[in-house]
Amino acid sequence: MQDLMLILPPLIVFLGATALLLVDLKIADDRKETVAWIAMFLLVGALIAAVMLLYFNRTGDVLYGFSNMILTDRYAALLDIVFALIGIGVFLLTLRYNRVHQIMRGEFFVLTLFSIGGMMLMAHAANLVTIFVALEMFSIPLYVLCGVARPRLDSEESSLKYFLLGAFASGFLVYGIALMYGATGTLDIATMLKQVERGQAPLLLVIGAGLMLVGLGFKVAAVPFHMWTPDVYDGAPTTVTAFMTTATKAAGFAALVRVFLLGPGAFVGSLVSAIAILAALTMIFGNLFALAQRSVKRMLAYSSIAHAGYLLAGIASVANIGQSANAVIFYLATYAATSLAAFGVLSEIGSMNRDEDHGLERYTGLAKRNPALAWVMALALFSLMGMPLTAGFTGKYLLFQSAVSSGLNWLALLGVITSVISAFYYLRVIVHMFMKEDATVAANNEQYYVSKPSLVMMTLASVAVVALGLLPTLLLNMFA
Amino acid sequence: MSTLVVLPILFPLIGVVINAFLGKRLGEKVVGALATLMCSAAFVVALMLFSQVSVSKEHAIHAEFGTWIGVGKLNVPFGFLVDSLSSALMLIITGVGALIHLYSIGYIHGDPRANRYFVYLNLFVASMLVLVMGSNYLLMFVGWELVGLCSYLLIGFWFDKVKNAEAARKAFVVNRIGDVGFILGIMLIFVTFGTLNYHDIFAVVGDHKTAALALAGDPVAPAVLSAITLLLFIGAMGKSAQLPLFVWLPDAMAGPTPASALIHAATMVTAGIYMIVRSNALFHVAADTSNFVALIGALTAFIAGSIALRQFDIKKVLAYSTVSQLGFMIAAAGLGAYTASIFHLMTHAFFKALLFLAAGSVIHGMEHYSHAHHSAQHIDPQDMRNMGGLRGKMPVTFWAFIIGGLSLAGLPPFSGFWSKDEIIVAALHNPLVFALLACTAVFTAFYTGRQLVMVFFGSARSKDASHAEESGMAMKLPLIVLSVLALIGGGLNLPGSMWLEHWLEPVVGVHEGGFNLPIAALFSALALVALAAAWVMYRDGKRDTSLTPQLSSVSSFLNKAWQIDALYRAAIIMPFYALSSFLARVFDLGGIDGAVNGIGTLTKGIAAALRPLQSGFVRSYGLVMIVGVVALMAWLVINTR
Amino acid sequence: MIPSDYLPIGVMILLATGLACLVVLISILFGPRRRAKNPVKIASYESGMTAIGLGQRRFPVRFYLVAVLFILFDIEIVFFYPWAVAFRELGWPGFVSMLSFIGILFVGFIWVWKKGALEWETMDK
């Protein structure tokens, strides 16, 4: 029974999603909003469960369950909360977007819930097999979700690309797990960690961990395993993209934290340096590619690659492991809030124009047409840029600080330089929104309203961005 | 008890939130009523806190709500301190504030941005309370900046007029100069004492009471204390409009009159005095700074007082008078007469708020005619040369103005007399300061008399004046209440009882000299003579045309405020413009823009070159992955042992 | 390890080969003769598709849908075997676990059914 309590948040999501699958059959097509509300209700339940896990385990002990297959600690509970909040935020966006784009299907919500459940399970993983199962659990629904906008071609294309390359990456992951098992005779991360701490890190284990890094690097879009990202993010429906940039990234990094930062990976010098190099490549290429984009959605896809780079810098900072893990989890939370705010704006724009064209000209003069959207977008972009007083700054500060304290001065410096480069493309959007007029668009078009649920979500996300920028201790105190 | 402490701040903030987000829906009336209610509620809580302080053993309530900033050695709590000093100021802020809120309902009625006005006003009250209630310098600084923001917003409230927007900007920029001094002072305090909490700092300083302190074996040079206090004083110079930073306050009169009354007369501008009195332990041991403070205060009082002699705008006279009176308070603080300073601060809050509100009522009355008749030719409703004879048309305003004016002039038994007298007595041992303050006192009585005569006596000099009408009840009620306060406010620290002095003793500690009958009699007589002179000179309202050439050049020098704005323009602003245009043209456009744009173009070029890599084919994506995997494996094999 | 350990494997190989041969033999003996020279008739039959031709041709997706569903529900049987073998050792917890597993599959089955994935005629929609 205690085992079940430990994974109460994913359990609620899974069971609820299964039941919702049947409930959905009885709901008429024009009333699928009900499904969305039920899904949100489930996530609120999971949220409460996660808060309870946090509350009843105030000492932050690591509690194991299901024969050490899963665990629950502060990070797991916090990530559960993050996943649940992301889910709620995305569902609030779907109410208008999915209706306008005719993808208001019950399966959309059920699949997203299954995916969230898998991500939560990932946060609780204590065993490499659990990691693999959780990874597939959240990935397979995502493959389908990317293609949910059938018969739109680029949506189908993104789905197939993601599936093919994802299966490819999963292969590396499983092979890595197998090699690690071969090297250590165990799949339990804690046991493996003990062996490595005793200095038993044979090449086979290192190679296995490297292959796992490939599989997980694919999920978080680290260069050079990132190639799918722009095509898939661009082609998928915006609500799905919003979910993927925030939640998939968090789930992938949850696994990276477990296996590399808090696990055996942190004790192998060559692995750590490899991660640092990946981080550097990811920062550089993510930001450089983003510069050349004319579509805001594609630009955000590359920006999400760049942010994976900053996060990887945290994974490579192994001098003070607790501090780095805190920084990574904190950054994931801030990035989720910021990115949701930005994609909220994108989904509203997509609903207004009834298409998926996110060219810069679609954002020209937005401040006049729709000041609320323009301000939210500006705030989100400033936070992505890492402007002080926003959550993005605090997050980057903590990450680079842990990089510096681990002697990775060059990486922190590179992070700062690439952040400056990123200002070019973020500011370009702001300039278009605020300083240019668009004569072609009628100002009083009735479609140019912002839907209430989206507005609520964007407001909350913006408040979170500002609050975490001004008072980071609000969240950081939960780690202590 | 500790929850009670946040309520005064919380109430106006609730007003801010509700009015900011629902203001449009609620309508102007509800917004005004709610704002007034919230401020009044804060006043009630302030009263409760006041009574708690008076019965509490150490005459202070401490309340902490967790850590705000905790980085290394720096530990700043969300701490509030309600002691005799701050509780007294809280009463002034919320009490006068509530009256001015009430008055504003009538004054701002019909303005399309009325909701916003009340939001700013409530925000100001909350910020000012943070300023006086914070238990450390950083929280004071937060309040300090917030009230600066509110001041900026309210000065530029009618921002569609260029003049007002410029006045707001000027206030902001000039205040910023002072703020830099203040924050530097705070940093130096932290470096020296390792803390920002009043309690800890003053405990260290207070134990020694000498200039040569030893902190943890590290002697603190007197020079450091002088530097700290001097930097703090620079902050006070900005906020409390002292020489040479006083130029923003007269321009600040562009804002709505009630806001001027609250912010630029009664409360915000006295923040500098509060800060000095709060830091009295520091100023006490830094004698050089204190002398400097006294001198600057007296000089400011004198110069501003002389300028007020030749102003024609009804609000400008009051503005320079405020600067002059602030000089009095600063001088008192510099002389070590902290109680006298606070005493004058309080009575000044009453009578100057009263004068401003009365002036607002006059302006409101003057605007009646042109509003009703849509008269094409607009005369300035604030110019005293267009007024005259308003006594009969606006009786309540007239009596309020008389009480406020006589209080300002320093006639017994009005409140201003008692507080000003204490300051002058305290200045007796410093001849220069005494002389300056004595002259200023005479000036004050004269320009007050001049204003009273020009506005209310004689005959109407314009259609607007002859058709002026008394204001409504919402505006009259605060006038009456403030009149009573201005009349009896002196009772706070009457010779004999010295209630305020005893009340403030836990904070300022020292006892000052009290009442001096010959001085009091002398200055009362001087004030009477000056008032009489003003009556004689301005009774017919034609005095200004018949000046001798020499006198008229002095007059215009005073009217132009000693040409200080022109001086700043020539000495600071013009060279700055020249430098910045040089930097913009040569340095920025050529050097920096070139470099920045160059980097931008370069990175864009690189990005464009990389673009073909993203071909869209899954097979090439897979290939890139494989290359990555191989490279990674090679790295791991080579680098593992 | 002694050679006799490999005996079961040898028997297994023999049995498998024998069975395959037997099936082929039976089909030769009892199956229809290839008398007709019709090439269509002698072509191997694979899910309604011709086995030889270009790879890029369209084909009805319904065959694959059914096949995928079949595999999905077929694979579940695989999980029954180990459970059945260890039925006594696992006891009630094992029974409950298996029941919930079947329950989840059953939900999926209902969903597939209601969505019309099993209706051959309307499946294309």
Would you list the domain boundaries of chain A? 2-479
- Contact, A285 vs A265, CB < 8 A? no
Give per-residue pLDDT as tens, B516-567. 788 888 888 888 888 888 888 877 665 554 556 666 777 777 777 777 778 8
Query: Structural domain boundaries of chain B?
Result: 1-135, 136-374+382-559, 565-639
C-chain residues near A23 (CB < 8 A) = none
Q: Tell me the count of A-B CB pairs closer than 8 A.
A: 89
Query: Where does the pLDDT of residue C41 fall: very low under 50, low under 70, confident under 90, or very high at 90 and above?
Result: low
Of residues B382, B384, B141, the one with CA closest to residue B275: B141
Distance set, CA B403 to CA B204, B410, B412, C63, C109 (Å): 45, 11, 11, 99, 90
Interface probe for A, chosen from C111, C112, C113, C124 (most Cβ of A below 10 Å), is C111
d(Cα C81, Cα A207) in Å, to the nearest integer? 35
Chain B closest CA to A220's CA: distance in Å? 14
Check whether A6 has a pLDDT greater than 60: yes
Q: Do chains A and C touch (3 or more CB pairs under 8 A)?
A: yes
ipTM: 0.92
Chain A closest CA to C108's CA: distance in Å? 8
Cβ pair C107:A18 closer than 8 A = yes
d(Cα A40, Cα A62) in Å, to the nearest integer? 29
d(Cα B608, Cα B604) in Å, to the nearest integer? 6
pLDDT, average across residues C54-81: 80
Work out the mean pLDDT of chain A and round it to a whole number.
91
d(Cα A285, Cα A277) in Å, to the nearest integer? 12
Of residues A357, A246, A247, the one with CA closest to residue A296: A357
- Six-digit token string for B19: 């009015």
Among A residues 12-51, those touching chain C with beta carbons less than 8 Å apart: 18-19, 21-22, 25
Residue with tokens 């912010």: B263
Q: Note every long-range contact of B175-178, with CB atoms under 8 Å and residues 24 or more positions apart, other chains counting.
A: B175/B148, B175/B151, B175/B238, B175/B239, B175/B245, B175/B248, B176/B238, B177/B234, B177/B238, B177/B245, B178/B234, B178/B235, B178/B236, B178/B237, B178/B238, B178/B239, B178/B245
In sequence order, what are the residues at sequence separation of 6 or more whose Cβ sits closer than 8 angstroms to the Cβ of residue A115? A137, A138, A139, A141, A142, A145, A243, A247
Check whether B65 has a pLDDT greater than 90: no
Check whether A323 has a pLDDT greater than 80: yes
Burial of B598 (0-12, 13-18, 19+ CB in 10 A): exposed
A-chain residues near B627 (CB < 8 A) = 224
Q: Tell me which residue in A172, A203, A288 faces B640 most closely, judged by beta carbons.
A: A203
Check whether A414 has a pLDDT greater than 90: yes
Please name the residue of chain A whose CA is at the shortest distance from the CA of residue B614.
A227
A-chain residues near B76 (CB < 8 A) = none
Q: Do chains B and C touch (3 or more CB pairs under 8 A)?
A: no
Q: How many helices (H) and strands (E) does chain C have?
A: 4, 0
Chain C closest CA to A22's CA: distance in Å? 7
Chain A closest CA to C15's CA: distance in Å? 33
Distance set, CA C80 to CA A192, C74, C91 (Å): 32, 11, 14
Cβ pair A21:C107 closer than 8 A = yes
In sequence order, what are the residues at sequence separation of 6 or more whose Cβ sits closer than 8 angstroms to the Cβ of residue B420? B328, B344, B410, B441, B523
Please name the residue of chain A whose CA is at the shortest distance from the CA of residue B617.
A161
Cβ pair C114:A25 closer than 8 A = yes
Give the Cα-Cα-Cα angle B95, B124, B340 (nearest 5 degrees): 55
Q: Pinpoint the alpha helices (H) of A221-355.
A: 228-235, 238-243, 249-256, 269-291, 296-316, 321-353
Q: Tell me which residue in C104, C108, C111 faces A25 most closely, judged by beta carbons.
A: C111
Query: Where does the pLDDT of residue B604 fall: very low under 50, low under 70, confident under 90, or very high at 90 and above?
Result: confident
Please name the residue of chain C whose CA is at the shortest distance from the CA of residue A22.
C111
Check whether A442 has a pLDDT greater than 90: no
Query: Where does the pLDDT of residue B212 fall: very low under 50, low under 70, confident under 90, or very high at 90 and above?
Result: very low
DSSP state letters, C51-101? SSS-TT----THHHHHHHHHHHHHHHHHHHHHHHHTHHHHHHHHHHHHHHH
**Dihedral sign (CA B480, B52, B85, B79):** negative
DSSP state letters, B583-628? IIIIIIIIIIHHHHHHHHHHHHHHHHHHGGG--S-HHHHHHHHHHH
Q: Tell me the count of A-C CB pairs closer than 8 A.
A: 13
Interface probe for A, chosen from B621, B623, B627 (most Cβ of A below 10 Å), is B621
Please name the residue of chain A whose CA is at the shortest distance from the CA of residue C115.
A25
Whether the ω angle into residue A472 lies within 30 degrees of 0, i.e. cis, is: no
Q: Which of B3-7, B68-72, C106-110 has the highest mean pLDDT?
A: C106-110
Query: Where does the pLDDT of residue A411 fall: very low under 50, low under 70, confident under 90, or very high at 90 and above?
Result: very high
DSSP state letters, B434-465? HHHHHHHHHHHHHHHHHHHHHHHSS---SHHH
Question: pLDDT higher for A317 or B337?
Answer: A317
Q: What are the two backbone dihedrals, phi and then psi, of residue B134, each rounded to the nearest 5 degrees?
A: -60, 145
Give per-residue pLDDT as tens, A161-218. 999 999 999 999 999 999 999 999 999 999 999 998 888 788 999 999 999 999 999 9
Give me Rg for the CA atoms of chain B: 28
Check whether C1 has a pLDDT greater than 60: no
Q: Tell me which residue in A203, A223, A292 faces B604 most closely, judged by beta carbons.
A: A292
Chain A closest CA to B199's CA: distance in Å? 25
B640 SS3 class: coil
Of residues A285, A23, A350, the one with CA closest to residue A155: A350
d(Cα A262, Cα A197) in Å, to the nearest integer? 12
Cβ pair B625:A421 closer than 8 A = no
Distance set, CA A288 to CA A283, A377, A382, A419 (Å): 8, 21, 18, 11
Cβ pair B607:A269 closer than 8 A = no
A-chain residues near B619 (CB < 8 A) = none
A-chain residues near C72 (CB < 8 A) = none
